Amino acid sequence: MNRPHGHLTDRELSQATNDAKAAVSQATEKVRQARQDSSGGAVGMAPAPGRLLLDMLAGGVELAGVQLLRDHQDGGRGDEATLDEAEDQGAAPHNSDERPPQVLRQPFDVLKFTLSGSERTDGTGGSGAACEEAWMIKMKDVAAKAGVSVSSVSLVLNGRAKGRINPELARTITQAAEDLGYSPNQLARSLRTRQTHTIGLVADQVATVPFAGQMIAGAQHAARRRGYLVMLIDTAGENDEQVPATRALLQRDVDGLILAADYHKDVEIPPVLSGIPVVLMDARPADSRLDTLEWVVPDEEEGVYRGVSRLTALGHRRIGFCGVTAYPIAAGLRRAGYEHALAEAGISPDPSLVVEAPAADTRAGLTAARAMLAGAGRPTAVFCFSDQIAFSFYQVAAELRLRVPQDLSVLGFDDQRFIAEALSPGLTTVKLPHRAMGEWAAERLLNRLAAEAPMAAPEARGCRFPCPVVERGSIAPPGAA
């Protein structure tokens, strides 16, 4: 007996349901195994049904009910269907005479029923991620609201409208998308563009150092402006963790990578990074032959030169220097800036005015501060390697009944605001431009990703970022009232 298209017998319906369940079961196992392999054996939570569908489709699962869904969405065109349609999750007209869309509609609904746990097979019931995804705003909804074609919406929302879509119409489309709460399918978009719009950032304690965390904030801000997401792993100072952290980000298909150090240093580049654009932040490559890397560091020598020059301009001739042995590159650059400023002012360095602390914290600076200030020939001004060291000099000056800045001008370095602004008087200091360096690193990386040859050697490999002097109240002419 002939049946009109769109109606299945109980037996056919049961078979379609079983096929769909089998497809879901096998795909779930594939996804679970893939995630286990990529995470080194750790098994995470099972993927949500809606995401599972995308994983199955992206992976080319060809099993029964899922293949019917794929054929229905592709409009019978197989692999020729555009990924914009997959991104929108919309159904196209079916042109095949052998399997009209009414017949395919039934297995599609059965698949939704199977994933959502609904007891209805008409595609209208059920709850859970699959049904929620079925009700997500689609490009065709945006097109309907804006009164334009789906292709116009695709051009605007994918950043390809310039020269193709009237600017006023583009604004109308964008507003319609915002009003409806449209959110594109990033998985389908990455399949089309071969980019995930994600930057990996491996940080060496940067996330746990309050003022250095501004590097991360800067990178995130620059990435967000251009539609990218930053994925961060902090290695907490464990050198052995850098390669696993880098590999973990690469396995998640980041488009490029930023390696951030917690202080100015030369770093070894993990061998797993060949073939991906990389920018170093607050670091330089130990191997100078790696000519495809770009890096950004603070211009510490110039910053200290400007700060100490400010002291010589106020009339100071006996200016002390407190360095730190734990950070040899930074200490050397800051010492060079100090001596440059003295030489320019016609002042010969006095070795008795140079002391060193083992670390850059306040406790480590106390001994060095007492050694410099307790003698008869103490300086009228001092440059301190860090704001925390400057805090040490404030404390020792108070012990010795020396007033800041009347008896002792104090110049710091870092601009840790929770220290510099809390001291009385406020600390004049040289600012480390962490946020600006973070923005620069992300911008350079994104520019390389947008270039035709992202792995080509850049014209200028490195950037030394200016370190401005932040004036507060801790410096004055010697003997000021």
Q: Give pLDDT tens digits for 406-427.
A: 999 999 999 998 999 999 999 9
The angle subtended at Cα 428 by Cα 427 and Cα 434, nearest 5°, is: 100
Dist CA 305 CA 321 (whole Å): 12
Dist CA 249 CA 270 (whole Å): 13
> Could you read off the pLDDT of 125-147 as tens digits, one per residue?
333 333 334 345 778 888 898 99
Q: pTM of the full predicted structure?
A: 0.63
Share of the chain above pLDDT 70, in %: 65
Highest mean pLDDT among 64-73, 172-181, 233-242, 409-418 belongs to: 409-418
Q: How remote is the C-alpha of 55 from its chain's centroid?
A: 25
Structure tokens at 41: 């054996």
Residue type, 283: A
Q: DSSP letters along 248-260, please?
A: HHHHTT-SEEEEE
Dist CA 389 CA 414 (whole Å): 11
Q: How many other β-carbons are positioned within 10 Å of the β-carbon of residue 464?
A: 15
pLDDT confidence bin for 179, thresholds 50/70/90: confident
Dist CA 156 CA 381 (whole Å): 60
Flag whether pLDDT at 86 surpasses 50: no
Q: DSSP letters along 337-391, please?
A: HHHHHHHHTT----GGGEEEESSSSHHHHHHHHHHHHSSTT--SEEEESSHHHHH
Q: 231 in helix, strand or coil?
A: strand
Angle between the N-to-C axes of helices 49-58 and 64-74, in degrees from 0 to 180, rounded to the nearest 10: 80
Are the C-beta atoms of 424 and 202 separated by less than 8 Å? no
Q: Which burial class, exposed, middle or buried, applies to 83 when counting CB atoms under 10 A from its CB (0-12, 13-18, 19+)?
A: middle
Dist CA 474 CA 368 (whole Å): 19
260 φ, ψ (degrees, to nearest 5): -115, 130
pLDDT confidence bin for 35, thresholds 50/70/90: low
Structure tokens at 79: 């692999």
Flag whether pLDDT at 265 surpasses 50: yes
Flag whether pLDDT at 246 surpasses 70: yes
Dist CA 273 CA 281 (whole Å): 16
Mean residue pLDDT of the chain comes to 76
User: Tokens 């349901």 appear where?
Assistant: 17
